[in-house]
């Protein structure tokens, strides 16, 4: 099977590249023309150069003989990135770039297009015990989520018009070795022994270990029932913020120092200093129901949360 994988220098794309390359030597991982060292050490059969991914990118010969496109490339500018609220930049890559690639893939005879989307298509928050479901109506709350939702809608239109099989995967926060962003910041605070006022938080959040997400992606490459479906991805174990922090501390072999402040007070303080979104990720709930993923694909997470955190934060187990 010949596979084209985009976003090979990203967190998910690089992990997927390493695993897929070991299973299928006929793997193409395009490199950006301005950065030819992104995945230079990966055992891919081809690493051609492309320009930035947008609505004008010409994929040309890269799609010849390709059976499956795995589209991991994306940008999060406007979602905490360097160009806050930059809707045109988000749509250029996440929407226009995705649909442009899919159209050319369909024209080239590609059978399946797997799109790494985001749970932000569903929304930003759930009530405890009322998780998002794969069949829920899209309800994105920010520009990033909107750009992914528009890409999904366009992909299913292309599928209807051309017969291209489309598979959508919506993960929540992905963690693993060398993770960055808020997850890494939490780890740094635990490592420093900083006391945190989060002992009273009673939320529930879903996460997905990179090992579990990559295993699901590989399942979607090969599974006949994955065609034209939307799947949510998670570890299948939801955690409160105190449980997450205790899990990180255990993985590091450290003690965690938590004390209590009311969540309402923490939310108010965060809003006053312009950190409302960051506070919501610690205080609010975001749960995913992966029963459809389990039932349709017969898939289950390959590692549990404890092992995922250990691989992420125990330097003796990181790879």
Asked if 191 and 62 sit in the same domain, the reply is: no
Q: pLDDT for 252-291, tens place per residue? A: 999 999 998 888 787 777 677 777 777 788 899 999 999 9
Task: Report the C-alpha gap between 96 and 147 in whole angstroms.
Answer: 9
State the average pLDDT over residues 236-245: 96
CATH classification of the domain holding 119? 3.40.50.720
70 vs 141, more confident: 70
Percentage with pLDDT > 70 across the chain: 90
What is the number of structural domains in the chain?
2
Q: How confident is the model at residue 49 (pLDDT cuts 50, 70, 90)?
A: confident
Q: Is 144 a catalytic residue?
A: yes
pLDDT at 34: 52
Q: State the residue range of the domain holding 128.
A: 3-170
Q: Where are the alpha helices (DSSP H) in the chain?
A: 11-23, 87-90, 98-107, 143-162, 181-192, 210-222, 241-252, 263-272, 276-283, 291-297, 305-313
51 vs 82, more confident: 51
pLDDT at 83: 41
Closest CA to 280 of 191, 205, 212: 205
pLDDT at 36: 45
Asked if 17 and 88 sit in the same domain, the reply is: yes
Q: pLDDT for 13-28, tens place per residue? A: 999 999 999 888 789 9
State the average pLDDT over residues 72-94: 73
Whole-prediction pTM: 0.91
Does 210 fall in a domain? no
Asked if 31 and 146 sit in the same domain, the reply is: yes
Asked if 164 and 15 sit in the same domain, the reply is: yes
Q: How confident is the model at residue 100 (pLDDT cuts 50, 70, 90)?
A: very high
CB atoms within 10 A of CB 94: 30
Task: Report the C-alpha gap between 21 and 4 in whole angstroms.
Answer: 11
CA-CA-CA-CA torsion sign (75, 78, 84, 89): positive
Choose, from 144, 175, 183, 207, the residue flagged as catalytic: 144
Q: How confident is the model at residue 46 (pLDDT cuts 50, 70, 90)?
A: low
pLDDT at 182: 87
Q: How confident is the model at residue 136 (pLDDT cuts 50, 70, 90)?
A: very high
pLDDT at 20: 93
Closest CA to 142 of 200, 208, 87: 87
Statement: residue 81 has pLDDT above 50: no
Does 38 fall in a domain? yes
Q: pLDDT for 201-219, tens place per residue? A: 999 999 999 999 999 999 9
Asked if 154 and 55 sit in the same domain, the reply is: yes
Average pLDDT, the chain: 89
Asked if 140 and 32 sit in the same domain, the reply is: yes
Asked if 75 and 158 sit in the same domain, the reply is: yes
Asked if 117 and 253 sit in the same domain, the reply is: no
């Amino acid at each position: 099977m010949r596979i084209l994988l985009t976003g090979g220098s990203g967190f998910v794309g690089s992990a997927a590249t390493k695993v897929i390359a070991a299973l299928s030597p006929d793997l193409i991982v395009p490199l950006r023309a301005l950065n030819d060292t992104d995945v230079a050490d990966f055992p891919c059969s081809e690493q051609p150069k492309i320009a930035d991914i947008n609505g004008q990118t010409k994929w040309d010969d890269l799609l010849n003989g390709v059976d499956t496109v795995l589209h991991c490339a994306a940008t999060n500018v406007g979602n905490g990135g360097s160009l806050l609220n930059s809707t045109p930049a988000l749509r250029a890559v996440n929407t226009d770039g995705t649909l442009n690639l899919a159209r050319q893939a369909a024209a080239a005879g590609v059978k399946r297009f797997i799109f790494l989307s985001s749970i932000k298509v569903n929304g930003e928050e759930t009530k405890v015990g009322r998780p998002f479901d794969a069949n829920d109506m899209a309800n994105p709350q920010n520009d990033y989520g909107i750009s992914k939702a528009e890409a999904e809608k366009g992909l299913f239109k292309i599928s209807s018009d051309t017969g291209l099989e489309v598979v959508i995967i919506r993960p929540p926060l992905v963690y693993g070795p060398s993770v960055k962003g808020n997850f890494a910041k939490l780890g740094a605070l635990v490592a420093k022994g900083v006391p945190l006022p989060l002992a009273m938080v009673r939320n529930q959040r879903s996460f997905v270990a990179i090992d579990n997400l990559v295993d699901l992606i590989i399942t979607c490459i090969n599974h006949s029932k994955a065609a034209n479906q939307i799947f949510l991805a998670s570890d299948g174990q939801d955690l409160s913020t105190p449980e997450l922090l205790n899990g990180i501390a255990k993985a590091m072999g450290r003690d965690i120092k938590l004390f209590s402040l009311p969540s309402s007070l923490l939310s108010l303080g965060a809003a006053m200093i312009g950190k409302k979104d960051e506070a919501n990720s610690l205080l609010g709930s975001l749960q995913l129901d992966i029963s459809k993923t389990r039932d349709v694909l017969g898939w289950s997470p390959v590692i549990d949360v404890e092992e995922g955190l250990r691989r992420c934060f125990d330097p003796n187990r990181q790879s």
